[in-house]
Structure 1
Amino acid sequence: MARIPTAELSRYLLNGQLTRRGCLRLRKYPLVPPISPSRRAFSASPSTPPPPEPPVIPLRKQLKDQAKAAKLSGAPHNKKNKKNTDNQTVPGWDLTVGIEIHAQLNTPHKLFSPASTPSAGEDAIPPNTRVAPFDLAIPGSQPLFQPTTLIPAIRAALALNCEIQPISRFDRKHYFHWDQPAGYQITQYYHPFARSGSVTLLPRDGIAPDDGPSVEIGIKQVQMEQDTAKTLAQPNSTHYLDFNRVGVPLVEMITEPCIHRPATAAAFVRKVQMLLKSVDACTSGMEQGGLRADVNVSVKREGETRLGTRTEIKNLSSFKAVEDAIIAERDRQIAVLEAGGKIEGETRGWSLGSTETRRLRGKEGEVDYRYMPDPDLGPVVIGEDLVERLGGTMGTLPDEEVEVLMRAYGLSERDAMALMQMEGRMEYFYGVLEELERMLGVTASKEGEQKHAILAANWCLHELGKLAEAEEVVVDNAGVEVLDASSRVPEQDLAAILFYLHQKNITAKVAKDLMWDVFRGTVVTGGVTEQIESQDLWYKEISEEQYIAIADEVIEGQEKVLQDFIRFKQGKSKAYPQGKLGFLVGKMMRAGPEQGKGMDPASAERVMRARIEEVYIPRSEGVE
């Protein structure tokens, strides 16, 4: 049958068979009655429109609100970034984990229809407005494979070191649920387009310390498949369906069962996300909904050779959820086995902030899905020239990028990894650095000339992070809370602030205040420079004589502190008393004009050190 032209979609809309507004409304597990032509939207009543959807709360804000609530209630909670290393193993038991990762491909069209794909996390578009007849399984419509979806899929597989198969085929995976209008999902079960890959994890990726200097995770296969509809739960066991997501192209990456520690499993998912983003294969990361993971967990007693019965935990949407859910399910299975019970193969769920997994349904086997070759789709033939072309234009992968950031720009390993892992922050850093180097007249960062690059990285990571973590709430023009500070601080403005700071034209305090002004949108017309001019914020350093006078005033009466410097010079102490020097410099900054205004900490330390070594130690020579 010929493909239904896009122009025909208008006729379906006018006849009420499709809609550009509203969602199909279902009671729990009902049969869907025929839709009357007079109804203009999928809803329970033509006169009562569906209630507005509740606002989507980003995962980051949910975690932040939970941490605040725990703090107010006095409940114990882990500090940020604290690794749960004591929960990685259980004496006498072996853990085995396999992971399935689904990532939305970065393509303009769906997998088997010309309908455009909604971006991951794009909730503002009306429901059921990005659908074609095949997406809704309208009788007579047929799939039409979109070849452009192969490009990001092959890039993803190459980033995972997979072997691209010259011929792959599509299969139908049958199951009946309201989110799958055709009653089956088109996937690549028997003949995927990529096999036999691997990902190497290093300690800097966050693997468990017991896993040693590196871990290699085997990738069994990578397959293309279509996504399902989005279910929006409503009160009274009512659900709305948005079919915009039906048919969105996914890649599913299936690992070998070779992971044995929860932290390493989370590190693997994080590394895969970095790899896919680096080759522009997927739309976004876990927090935005563009990537989700299912984990298969089994335990066995040490010494046993046969793996235990596995359970699957579905739709984990954060790296922390991956680690926490594996720990909870491992502990549950061990408790069941130690009590003499038996582990059932089943699908389980995990909720944000939970301490236990929950049963969803009994595990379906391969026979239940009734896999069969799709009769409407021919084989996919991938030429070797295409694979070579895409492999040669992959760009810089994460491990190499981290090495470049450390070697060429002088960043620490921790900061380099943080830039790689934060959504969009690497590109933001390079944009700020490029503008800063233009203003400084520097063509590129060279070894030994990296101070401005380190300065840019510190501010892109740490100072911007403080804006996002602050208690103050900033909203954009649409009234939505701003969680990513970089979206409110343009690269040019931050580069200008850092230029003046690097040149010592402004102090660090003034620089931070200026960044807050930019973040709040209160910078005067004309930008950062005009703001500095209008408020006379330029740094005017005090004279050398004034530094000396302040240092002498601070040292007065500090004979006990000076004894540490004397003992060091006499060889009675091996370590220079840097802490005591910092104490004196701090007092010096506070004693200066307007709480340190016009004083450079480096100059203050230089003068203080010189006065101690050249004046006060000689005066006290020989005094204990």
Structure 2
Amino acid sequence: MPLQPRPITLSLRQTCLYHAYRPRLNSLVGVLPRHRQFSKTVYCPQTAKTAETAVPLRKQLKEEAKQRKKSAKAAGKGNHETNALLDKWELTVGIEVHAELNTAHKLFSTARTSANAEPNEHVARFDIALPGAQPAFQKATLIPALRAALAMNCDIQPRSSWDRKHYFYQDQPNGYQITQYYEPFARNGSLILTLEDGIDPNDIPEPKGSAENTSLTIGIKQIQMEQDTAKTALQPPSTYLLDFNRVSHPLIEIITLPHIHSPATAAATVRKIQSLLRSVDSCVAGMEMGGLRADVNVSVRQRGSTGDNNEYSGVTGLGTRTEIKNLSSFKAVEDAVTAERDRQIKLLEAGGVVEGETRGWTIGSTETTRLRSKEGEVDYRYMPDPDLPPVLISNELVEHLRKTLPELPDSTVLRSLNDFGLSVKDAKTLFSLDDGERLEYCAETIELIQAKPSAQNDGQDQTKVGKLVANWVLHEVGGLLASDGREWSDLTITTEELASLLANLMSKQITARVGKQILQQLYEEDSDERISVDARIDEGNLRLRPISREEYIELAQSIMDENPNMVSAVRDKGQKGKTMWFVGQMVRRAEEGTVEAEKAKEIIEELLFP
């Protein structure tokens, strides 16, 4: 039965006594508001909820693509002052990714982990620091952490240990966080990113863009396990509600080396990490659901200089770094790095000095904001946790997990290229949607089309089939789902139905317009009541009955004669995009199933440009 909380108001003196003596409590306690607002009252009721706004991944990808296009366009116009500064100053970024592990229980208690639970429903005594409560490491939480480390090519350490990271904040009942600062369970990993992952081409080592070198390797310094904190919800103007369900949820912290030198590559690195974690089932909730958060360390130095410090292992002479905390989207990572880079360059150009500090980022803003001075190892008073023994990992366990590791994203994309003729862009996009389910749907549809006798007789090119199927799965099927807000799991159109539809389209049995009409019908009808695609085509008399070339010309000429202004716009003003308007008119005017868009375009172009 979950513990029932009650509200408690604590003065500053009472708070100090509470943390000094830790009196026995039989219920969850209220905690202090932020350190500058001690006079306020804080409650922690069980009924407090926080609405999590999930941004659909498809929408997020579109927004990111739009932003990249906008940035590239702006760069193309040539902001000479900015470009000159970027030529003078070098950006360096290191990233710390915090990911919630996919586990049934918490890291140090048997309380369950659940994203959909009522606030404070799954809380153990240790989670809220009741006197005498001891941590008990749940061994099963190690398995997804090891899978993640293996996916990132890390060396698994036979022995790792736990440390206490001390700090006082309202979301940490113990007054310290248990982590693996000195002896993490994994070290020395790497990520390989390519241009298709969205990295900046300038980040690729020389020779840039050559066939031999089109990838970038990002080093992973270490991966450590640690416990998550409580979830804080502000109730304006000054009340904070705490949900302790998240306390001790197992996390891994992935720390990269400072091998990143552009905002785009920083965002691509986080995206790659999320993709890897999902592929091996280590983290099922990505950035869009709050299951993955990123902190970025940003510094600049003049190109060719030795910098002014050496804060990163393996890299000497970097500029003073600042840390931007809790970035919750790929776009936020890119925008925050860009803003902080520009702020530091501007400050240094004016003769100022960059201070080591922690900064924040708000979506939609153009500048980072100072939060506090940067804490160091001394501030956190790291010490070995006396209540937890070291973690010993056998080589047999590591090898078993290595052999049973699911297929990684790069391998899946490569297989899609070789087996199904998909393009790199389509394969990566399909893999990123719905945990790869769209890619599997696409692959099965392609196999069914290729197995049909008509495809074998027509000698259909594998690449052409793959491109067509990917286009329909992404745009036509995806568009139907997006039109009424449905999820991929709601789709009832089977791969057999889509394969039959596209096989008829490729063999010119139906037009693309008819194909889209049939797809719409399949989408709207109940699966138990649907007839087959071929029967639907025959009953509706929808098979293509092509007209002669002379009839094409006659139809096209009549439309051109009726619309001289449109003809003039194409011929005299060079508005060639309006050619497709004539094609659309031909398809609409002709009897259904008699005009092919490709043939109509060919005839129109012949008449417009004799």
TM-score range, shorter chain: 0.7 to 0.9
Deviation of 1:439 (Å): 8.5
**Counterpart-to-counterpart distance in 2, 1:260 and 1:465:** 35
Calculate percent identity across the aligned residue pairs.
Answer: 47
How far off is 1:104 after superposition?
A: 0.9
Shift of 1:297: 0.5
- Pick from 483, 486, 489 the counterpart of residue 488 of structure 2: 486
Determine the structure 1 residue equivalent to 2:107: 111
Task: Name the CA shift for 1:263/1:525 in 2 (closer, same or farther; >3 Å).
Answer: closer
Aligned-pair CA distance for 1:112: 0.9
Please give the alpha-carbon distance, in whole angstroms, between the structure 2 residues aligned to 1:411 and 1:156. 27
Secondary structure, aligned partner of 1:84? helix
Distance 1:486 1:35, change over 3 A: farther
Q: Is the partner of 1:236 in helix, strand or coil?
A: coil
Deviation for aligned residue 1:179: 0.6
Match of 1:573 in 2: none
1:128 matched residue in structure 2? 120
Counterparts of 2:100 and 2:241, CA distance in 1 = 22
- 1:476-512 per-residue CA deviation (whole Å, 9 max, x = no partner) reads xxxxxx3x642332352x6524523432476544554
Q: Which residue of 2 aligns with 1:566?
A: none
Q: Give the SS at the match of 2:107.
A: coil
Tell me the amino acid that sits aligned with residue 211 of structure 1: D
Which residue, 385, 388, 411 being the options, matches 2:396? Answer: 385
Q: Tell me the SS of whatever aligns to 1:270.
A: helix
Deviation at residue 387 of structure 1 after TM alignment: 0.8
Contact preservation (8 Å) 2:157, 2:187 = yes
**Distance between the aligned counterparts of 2:59 and 2:527, measured in 1?**
37
Q: How does 1:116-515 map to 2 (within 5 A)?
A: 116-118=112-114, 122=115, 124-212=116-204, 213-305=214-306, 306-424=317-435, 426-431=436-441, 433-434=443-444, 437=447, 448-449=461-462, 452-467=465-480, 470=483, 474=484, 482=485, 485-490=487-492, 492=494, 495-504=496-505, 507-513=511-517
SS at structure 1 position matched to 2:289: coil
Q: Which residue of 1 aligns with 2:543?
A: 541
Given the two structures, how large is their TM-score scaled by the length of structure 2?
A: 0.78
- Tell me the equivalent position of 1:529: 531
3-state SS of 1:313 partner: strand
Partner residue in 2 for 1:71:
none
Distance in 2 separating the partners of 1:552 and 1:264: 52
User: Residues 45, 26 of structure 1: CA spacing in aligned structure 2 closer, same or farther, 3 A cutoff?
Assistant: closer
Superposed CA offset, 1:66-108 (max 9, x none): 99xxxxxxxxx99455163438971211111110001111111
The aligned length equals 547
- Tell me, in whole angstroms, the C-alpha distance in 2 between the residues paired with 1:437 and 1:582: 33
Conserved 8 A contact 2:98-2:251: yes
Q: Is the contact between residue 510 and residue 543 of structure 2 (CA under 8 Å) also seen in structure 1? A: no
- CA distance in structure 2 between the partners assigned to 1:47 and 1:139 by the alignment: 21
Question: 1:346 touches 1:359 (CA, 8 Å); kept in 2?
Answer: yes
Cα distance in 2 between the residues matched to 1:270 and 1:523: 37
The 8 Å contact of residues 25 and 239 in structure 1, kept in 2 or not, is answered as no
Equivalent-residue separation in structure 2 for 1:285 and 1:368 (angstroms): 31
Q: Which moved more, 1:509-518 or 1:318-327?
A: 509-518
Distance 2:172 2:12 in 1: 13
- CA drift of 1:457 comes to 2.0
Please give the root-mean-square deviation of Cα atoms over the aligned residues, in Å.
Answer: 4.2
Question: 1:591: how far off?
Answer: 3.4
Query: Secondary structure of 1:99's match?
Result: strand
Q: CA deviation at 1:139?
A: 1.3
Q: TM-score, normalised by structure 1?
A: 0.76
Mapped partners of 1:388, 1:250: distance in 2: 23
- Contact 1:498 / 1:511 at 8 angstroms: preserved in 2? no
Cα distance change, pair 584–401 in 1 and its aligned pair in 2 (3 A) = same
Q: Distance in 2 between matches of 1:35 and 1:459?
A: 64
How far does residue 197 in structure 1 lie from its aligned partner after superposition? Answer: 0.8
Query: Offset of 1:420 from its aligned partner?
Result: 2.5
Q: C-alpha displacement at 1:525, in angstroms?
A: 6.7
1:554 aligns with 555
Question: 3-state DSSP class of the match of 2:222?
Answer: strand
| Structure 1 alignment gaps of length 5 or more | 1-9, 68-76, 475-481, 561-577, 617-623
Residue 109 of structure 1 deviates from its aligned partner by 1.1
User: What's 1:620 paired with?
Assistant: none
Q: Secondary structure of the equivalent of 2:399?
A: helix
**CA deviation string 1:419-449 (max 9, x = no partner):** 222342x223313543675698569999944
SS in 2 for 1:178: coil
Amino acid at match of 2:555: V
What one-letter code is carried by the residue in structure 2 that aligns with 1:314? Answer: K
Shift of the 273–591 alpha-carbon distance from structure 1 to 2, 3 Å rule, reads same
Which residue number corresponds to residue 6 of structure 1? none
Distance in 2 (CA, whole Å) between partners of 1:132 and 1:48 is 16
Question: Is 1:90 paired with 2:100?
Answer: no
Change over 3 Å in CA distance of 1:103–1:95 after alignment to 2: same
Contact 1:313–1:347 at 8 Å: present in 2 too? yes
Counterpart Cα distance in 1 of 2:392 and 2:460: 47
What letter corresponds to residue 261 of structure 2 in structure 1? H
- Please state how far the C-alpha of 1:408 moved relative to its aligned partner: 1.1
Check conservation: 2:263, 2:333, Cα contact below 8 A: yes
Change (3 A) 1:268 1:150: same
Report 1:74-85 matches (<5 A).
79=66, 81-82=68-69, 84-85=71-72
Residue identity matched to 1:125: A
Contact 2:511 2:544 in 1 (8 A): no
Partner letter of residue 186 of structure 1? Answer: I
User: Using the alignment, how far apart are the partners of 2:8 and 2:532 within structure 1?
Assistant: 56
> 1:269 aligns to what SS in structure 2?
helix
Distance change (3 Å), C-alpha of 1:464 and 1:584: closer
Note the C-alpha offset of 1:462.
2.1
- 1:139–1:508 CA distance, 2 compared to 1 (3 A): farther
Amino acid at match of 1:279: V
Report the CA distance between 1:242 and its aligned residue: 0.5
The 3 A distance-change label for structure 1 pair 48 and 134 is closer
Instruction: Tell me the SS of whatever aligns to 2:86.
Output: coil
* Equivalence for 1:102: 98
Q: Secondary structure at the match of 1:287?
A: helix
